[in-house]
Amino acid sequence: MTTMTSHVALIGAGYWGKNYIRILGQMQQKGKIKFAGVFEADSKSRESLRFNYPDVRFVENLDLFLDDKTIDAFVIVTPASTHAKVIEQALNAGKNILVEKPLTVDTKSSQKCCELAKAKGLRLMVGHTFLFNSSVKELKKQVEDPEFGKMHYIHCKRTNLGPIRHDTSVIWDLAPHDISIILYLMQSFGKKLEKVSAVGSKTLGGKYEDTSWIHMMFEDNVVAQVHVSWLDPHKVRDVVVVSDKKRLAFDDMDGRQPVKIFMKGVEYVPGWGDQAKHLTVRDGDIHIPNITACEPLSEQFQHFLASIHDKSMKNASPGEFGVDVVAVLEAAEISMAKTGQAVSMAEVMGSQPSTGGCPHSEPKPRCERTGDIPLVDIQAAYKTVKPEVDAAVAKVFAAGCFIEGPDCKEFETEFAKYIGVKHCIGVNSGTDALYLAYRYLGLEAGDEIITQANTFIATCLGATTLGANIKLVDSEPATGQIDASKIEAAITKKTKIIVPVHLYGHAANMEAILAIAKKHKLKVVEDASQGHGAYFKDKRVGGFGDAGCFSFYPGKNLGAFGDGGALVTNDDALAARIRAWRAWGAVKKYHHTEKGGNSRLDTVQAAVLTCKLRKLDAGNARRREIADKYIAALKGVGDLSLPKSPPNTVSVWHLFVITTDKRDALLKHLNDNKIGAGIHYPLPIHKQECYKEELSSLVGTLPQAELEAPRMLSLPVFPEMTNVQQDRVIEQVKAFFKK
């Protein structure tokens, strides 16, 4: 950057202009600029200004400044209706420009100003002063924090009784501030503004609206609203930003605590089910960040100066951003004339695409700061429950009750209620839950279980540990669920248990499976380790069979922060025996009725799980949103086959498994681009080394499982995944197939 001193003239000295006389005077005193003087066309104003500022030069002829080759910058503060003309003259005379908002009074002339500035290699900056306001900068910091969550809406209110203008509507006077704040905040989410509608009223009977409500519709149903009025008795300058995790409130009239961060929210109540969508208010803290006051107008001007001298510097509020704001105002004006009909931004912007609001920097996808996109983000999951979990864990430590105790009981009661069964017995893993279910449903050496070939090994281990044999059935394409139509053919005299696995978070066809089990007098154990909260018809999985087994491995939809598992059942006797077994077969301390083992759900994990259970439905709903977006965005891309939910089910998308012939190359491409992807699972059960001996005869008999294993790939899906992260995954998958 050079240390050149700019020679600056002020064009216009109305209401705002006086502030600039002060700022430019201060800058001159500090030796940062030479203040060339003020052009003011109105003679009366000029005379009174001369009286108030005897040291400042005032001119009545703009040409004096236009022709002065020593002046390199203009600050333009004339009425907006004159901006287009003055900007054109100034650019043609080689001046850099800081122009007060709005850039001009229509999109086309604003775009022309930008084109001219570009052609001349000069700066054109628009004075959206709020972008330099410390409170708005705090809002920006908050929305860029990954813990901010999913943006829902922004609401702005700017009202007071007068001063009322007679040359324009209230939207051009008051709304540019809020529109600039909204575009500035929304830019962090990379969402395009699609439509604007507005209604206004000419309450005073004048030519222009004195009160208006503007509605801005962004991609993905995010909305922003601006209410402006000259007639409200209250002077209000309010901005409220609402996400699924936080609510930010900025009150510019509150000098002491202008920004408040509400950690409150609205959540699903566990136990009611997604369909019921029962909501409750989550109470949380209110944080008041320390805001250091600054003078935005002065900061804005200094930024302008710096950007004149450093041509490589990104301007915070370039002309293009000013065009975006003007386009919203123009769309709102058109909409008001059509009594609120929505106006598409594409219509207003014409062939010039919106910059999406690009102040301060290039759009900064939030994932850039968090680094890589993992397959599952356990740290992000922790952050979303940190206050509750930290408190719950601290409580366990304070009580010193680390084995069983009230926390375990609470979780077991809550989870049984959630699944809709009588009993939940916490154990130390999903693997143990399956083993215990098999054992206490009477599986013995030589018996058989029927399950699917494409499952995780733990589905089978408990059975073979007991000396039983595995009969494998193929899976359905797309859903990955056990093909119920093939189960009966696998039943022999030795078959005892059918084990459907609600793989990938989909529900197996429980109606068909229960009917087969009933007909052949077989038991059913559901491996629901990937299906927490999934529905078959109107009931959650895990509650259909004789027993349902869950894993709470950290990466699961309901994941602990360590190992954990549970068995759920309506069978009192089964529950009692497993409860005894998990504590060395004791029904009473040191009185052992079973030759049991030690497999209890850790108390600390139980406390964690109770907190996380309360967020499970909301997390599953977000997973569905992510899956829906993947399905819409990746349809028809390359040779991809996309997953789908089976009929009559509500999936919880533990995994989003796609298939392609180019699996390995796609996996490498994603990993090279710092995107985590997984394979679930690379080998079907009968091809696993440990089962080779007993199951090798099945090779070639399970075509679907064998065909899919080398073609499947799991894309990242987790509730905390941001839209920007998902867009990057989609973009990279598409880029791979374009190569």
To ligand PLP, the closest distance from the beta carbon of 508 in angstroms equals: 11
- Supply 165's token pair: 């203008």
DSSP class of 406 = H
To ligand PLP, the closest distance from the beta carbon of 609 in angstroms equals: 12
To ligand PLP, the closest distance from the beta carbon of 721 in angstroms equals: 20
Which residues, 602 to 661, sit near ligand PLP by CB under 6 A?
none
- Give the Cα-Cα-Cα angle 389, 394, 399 (nearest 5 degrees): 130
The Cα 430–Cα 452 span in angstroms is 17
Residue among 200, 559, 565, 646 that touches ligand PLP (CB under 6 A):
565
The Cα 668–Cα 347 span in angstroms is 42
Q: Judging by beta carbons within 10 Å of its beta carbon (0-12, 13-18, 19+), is residue 230 exposed, middle or buried?
A: buried
Count of residues interacting with ligand PLP (CB under 6 A): 15
To ligand PLP, the closest distance from the beta carbon of 563 in angstroms equals: 6
Q: Contact, 183 vs 224, CB < 8 A?
A: no
Query: Which residue's CB comes closest to ligand PLP?
Result: 430
Which residues, 170 to 229, sit near ligand PLP by CB under 6 A?
none
Q: Given the complex with ligand PLP, which of 654 and 669 has the nearer CB atom?
A: 654
Using CB under 6 A as the binding rule, whether residue 307 contacts ligand PLP is answered as no
Q: Contact, 96 vs 122, CB < 8 A?
A: yes
Q: Which residues contact 49 (CB under 8 A, 6 or more apart)?
A: 13, 18, 21, 38, 40, 56, 58
Which residues, 488 to 527, sit near ligand PLP by CB under 6 A?
501, 527
Q: Which residues contact 697 (CB under 8 A, 6 or more apart)?
A: none
Residue among 271, 426, 430, 542 that touches ligand PLP (CB under 6 A):
430
Q: Given the complex with ligand PLP, which of 229 and 551 has the nearer CB atom?
A: 551
Residue among 74, 321, 415, 553 that touches ligand PLP (CB under 6 A):
553
To ligand PLP, the closest distance from the beta carbon of 669 in angstroms equals: 26
Name beta bridge partners: 33. 6
Q: Which residues contact 315 (CB under 8 A, 6 or more apart)?
A: 123, 125, 303, 304, 307
To ligand PLP, the closest distance from the beta carbon of 480 in angstroms equals: 11
Residue among 495, 551, 605, 659 that touches ligand PLP (CB under 6 A):
551
Binding mask 440-479 for ligand PLP (x = CB under 6 A): ---------------xx-xx--------------------
Q: Given the complex with ligand PLP, which of 211 and 455 has the nearer CB atom?
A: 455
Using CB under 6 A as the binding rule, whether residue 530 contacts ligand PLP is answered as yes
The Cα 228–Cα 701 span in angstroms is 70
Using CB under 6 A as the binding rule, whether residue 129 contacts ligand PLP is answered as no
Residue 116, number of CB atoms within 10 A of its CB: 17
- Supply 183's token pair: 């575009």
Q: Given the complex with ligand PLP, which of 96 and 431 has the nearer CB atom?
A: 431
Q: Given the complex with ligand PLP, which of 129 and 530 has the nearer CB atom?
A: 530
Q: Which residues contact 550 (CB under 8 A, 6 or more apart)?
A: 415, 430, 433, 528, 529, 532, 542, 556, 558, 565, 566, 567, 568
Q: Given the complex with ligand PLP, which of 536 and 553 has the nearer CB atom?
A: 553
Using CB under 6 A as the binding rule, whether residue 431 contacts ligand PLP is answered as yes
Which residues of the chain form contacts with ligand PLP (CB under 6 A)?
A: 429-431, 455-456, 458-459, 501, 527, 529-530, 551, 553, 563, 565
